[in-house]
């Protein structure tokens, strides 16, 4: 399919320095942004779209989450992480079936697409069912099986590896697979080291929770004499590391940050989850000043409680400015970049996250006729600080629309809502 977008306004790579949106024609051919120019002749085949009313951005990339947890949202609003996990989530997760995960993932993807997300991260269970939902929905994802190391470590490692080999680079490259050792407090260092090594050999990502709560870091210090990050460094796991996506990273020392930077790790920040569960506030000044690739994730909707990436990056911006008491701490363009390019880099989708010739056509069409974009003083500012998902008119992934004029094209939302309510009811009743 060919789409010619006439007069699209979009953020290009020079926006940060010149503060001006570029307005041009964009030709999408197949899955790729083929050409960007001031004037492109109408394509002989394909569709020409008047894009004047839209702000076009790269698709948002949700760099950390547990997709099917949408089924569990609203079950436990006032409890801290450990109780939330052990008293509310784990007992229900033991009851989950593959079909539950499939439906919960579909619900999550619908919500994500409606709010402008084209690429997702997942760390959960029944990942083959998750992959099925991703493939059908037409979006992109990097999927991992969340793995704790308590018992049968060899078997778990093998099954995780089997999934990676089976699933990586499927769905025409839209699905990547990764290792997902859950967290320092649910794994041994040796298990982490083994997964790092296998991931490095296979050339895939490791996504894991890291330094999320103060208690988790303190418990490690008591047991191992250092933080999880320092412990892994001491054992050499970061010497030739795979591509790492460390989620949360709320409680880190300057030394922890330097270790992750040297390891070339990405951090997926989850500010809303950390606030709502009372986990704390990261040292944003040090993170922004480091060379670490920063990405943004919503975490699972059971803690957050949605997968709205625009809301997530807005609250992240509030916290970067507010916790440092420095309103200039982060620029609009950097925030937008973290929610797009930063996530794409973290998850290994190197040909997306930016609007340029040759990149994959993963695009969001924001309707600037929405009152939240009025009076058009600075539409990028209005996007980041005023608009919400109501303004998402269309979403394109690999050159195919998955949402158009607010209508989901790849998910039967009425069926999914009906099934999700039934399944959630069964799980909630526990």
Token pair 């699905």 is found at 175
Q: Are 186 and 149 in contact (CB under 8 A)?
A: yes
- Alpha-carbon distance of 376 to 368, in angstroms, equals 8
**CB neighbour list of residue 105: distance below 8 Å, 6 or more residues apart:** 67, 68, 122, 129, 130, 133, 134
Q: Which stretch binds a second copy (CB under 8 A): 13-21, 123-131, 283-291, 375-383?
A: 375-383
When asked if residue 253 is in the footprint of a second copy (CB under 8 A), the reply is no
Q: How far is the CB of 110 from a second copy (least distance, A)?
A: 5
Q: Which stretch binds a second copy (CB under 8 A): 24-32, 232-240, 327-335, 349-357?
A: 327-335
Q: How far is the CB of 190 from a second copy (least distance, A)?
A: 32
- Alpha-carbon distance of 180 to 234, in angstroms, equals 21
Q: How far is the CB of 262 from a second copy (least distance, A)?
A: 30
When asked if residue 420 is in the footprint of a second copy (CB under 8 A), the reply is yes
Distances (CA, A) of 349 to 141, 330, 345: 9, 24, 6
Strands 363-367, 54-58: pairing is antiparallel
Contact string (CB under 8 A) for a second copy, positions 259-278, x = contact: -------------x-xxxxx
Nearer CB in complex with a second copy: 286/324: 324
Give the number of C-alpha atoms closer than 13 A to the C-alpha of residue 47, restricted to the C-beta side.
Answer: 8
Q: Which stretch binds a second copy (CB under 8 A): 5-13, 39-47, 340-348, 388-396?
A: 388-396
Q: Return the closest-CA partner of residue 416 out of 106, 171, 139.
A: 106
Helices (H), 116-168: 127-137, 153-167
- Alpha-carbon distance of 146 to 396, in angstroms, equals 29
Q: Are 419 and 429 in contact (CB under 8 A)?
A: no
25 pairs with which residues across the strands? Answer: 37
- Using CB under 8 A, which of 234, 258, 261, 311 touches a second copy? 311
When asked if residue 317 is in the footprint of a second copy (CB under 8 A), the reply is yes
Nearer CB in complex with a second copy: 259/379: 379
Nearer CB in complex with a second copy: 205/271: 271
Q: Which stretch binds a second copy (CB under 8 A): 11-19, 262-270, 359-367, 416-424?
A: 416-424
Q: Which stretch binds a second copy (CB under 8 A): 2-10, 64-72, 178-186, 338-346?
A: 64-72
- Using CB under 8 A, which of 279, 293, 337, 410 touches a second copy? 279
Nearer CB in complex with a second copy: 13/331: 331
396 pairs with which residues across the strands? Answer: 363, 401
Nearer CB in complex with a second copy: 290/323: 323
Binding residues for a second copy restricted to 335-374, rule: CB under 8 A:
369, 371-372, 374
When asked if residue 18 is in the footprint of a second copy (CB under 8 A), the reply is no
- Alpha-carbon distance of 292 to 285, in angstroms, equals 12
- Residue 144: Cβ-neighbour burial (10 angstroms; 0-12, 13-18, 19+): buried
- Alpha-carbon distance of 344 to 63, in angstroms, equals 8
Binding residues for a second copy restricted to 76-105, rule: CB under 8 A:
77-80, 84
28 pairs with which residues across the strands? Answer: 3, 33
- Token digits of residue 325: 């008491």
- By the criterion CB under 8 A, which residues form the site for a second copy? 70-75, 77-80, 84, 107, 110-111, 114, 272, 274-281, 301, 304-306, 308, 311, 315, 317-319, 321-329, 331-332, 369, 371-372, 374-379, 381-382, 385-390, 413, 417, 420-421, 423-425, 428
């Amino acid at each position: 399919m060919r789409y010619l977008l006439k007069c699209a306004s979009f953020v290009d790579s020079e926006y940060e320095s010149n503060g001006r949106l570029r307005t041009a024609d964009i030709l999408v051919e197949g899955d790729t942004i083929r050409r960007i120019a001031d004037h492109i002749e109408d394509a002989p085949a394909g569709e020409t779209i008047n894009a004047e009313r839209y702000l076009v951005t790269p698709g948002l990339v949700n760099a950390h989450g547990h997709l099917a947890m949408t089924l569990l949202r609203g079950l436990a609003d006032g409890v801290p992480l450990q109780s939330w996990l052990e008293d509310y989530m784990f007992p229900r997760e033991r009851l989950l079936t593959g079909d539950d995960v499939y439906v919960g993932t579909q619900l999550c993807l619908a919500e994500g697409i409606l709010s402008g997300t084209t690429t997702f991260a997942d760390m959960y269970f029944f990942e083959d069912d998750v992959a099925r939902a991703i493939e059908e929905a037409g979006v992109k994802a990097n999927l991992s099986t969340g793995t704790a190391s308590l018992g049968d470590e060899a078997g778990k490692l093998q099954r995780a590896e089997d999934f990676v080999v089976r699933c990586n680079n499927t769905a025409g490259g839209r699905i990547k697979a990764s290792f997902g050792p859950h967290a320092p407090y649910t794994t041994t260092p040796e298990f982490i080291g083994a997964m790092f090594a296998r991931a490095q050999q296979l050339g895939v990502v490791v996504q894991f929770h890291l330094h999320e709560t103060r208690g988790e870091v303190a418990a490690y210090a008591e047991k191992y004499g250092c933080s999880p990050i320092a412990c892994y460094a001491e054992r050499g796991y970061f010497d030739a590391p795979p591509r790492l996506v460390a989620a949360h990273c709320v409680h880190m020392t300057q030394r922890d940050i330097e270790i992750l930077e040297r390891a070339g790790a990405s951090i997926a920040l989850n500010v809303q989850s950390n606030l709502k569960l009372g986990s704390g506030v990261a040292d944003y000044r040090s993170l922004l000043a480091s060379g670490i690739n920063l990405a943004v994730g919503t975490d699972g909707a059971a803690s957050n409680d949605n997968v709205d990436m625009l809301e997530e990056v807005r609250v992240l911006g509030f916290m970067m400015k507010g916790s440092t008491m420095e309103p200039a701490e982060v620029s609009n363009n950097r925030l937008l970049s973290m929610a797009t390019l930063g996530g794409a880099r973290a998850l290994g989708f190197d040909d997306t996250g930016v609007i340029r010739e040759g990149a994959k056509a993963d695009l969001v069409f924001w309707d600037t006729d929405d009152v939240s974009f009025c009076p058009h003083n600075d539409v990028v500012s209005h996007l980041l600080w005023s608009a919400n998902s109501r303004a998402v008119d269309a979403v394109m992934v690999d050159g195919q629309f998955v949402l158009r004029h607010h209508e989901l094209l790849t998910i039967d939302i009425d069926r999914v809502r009906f099934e999700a309510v039934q399944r959630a009811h069964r799980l909630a009743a526990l």
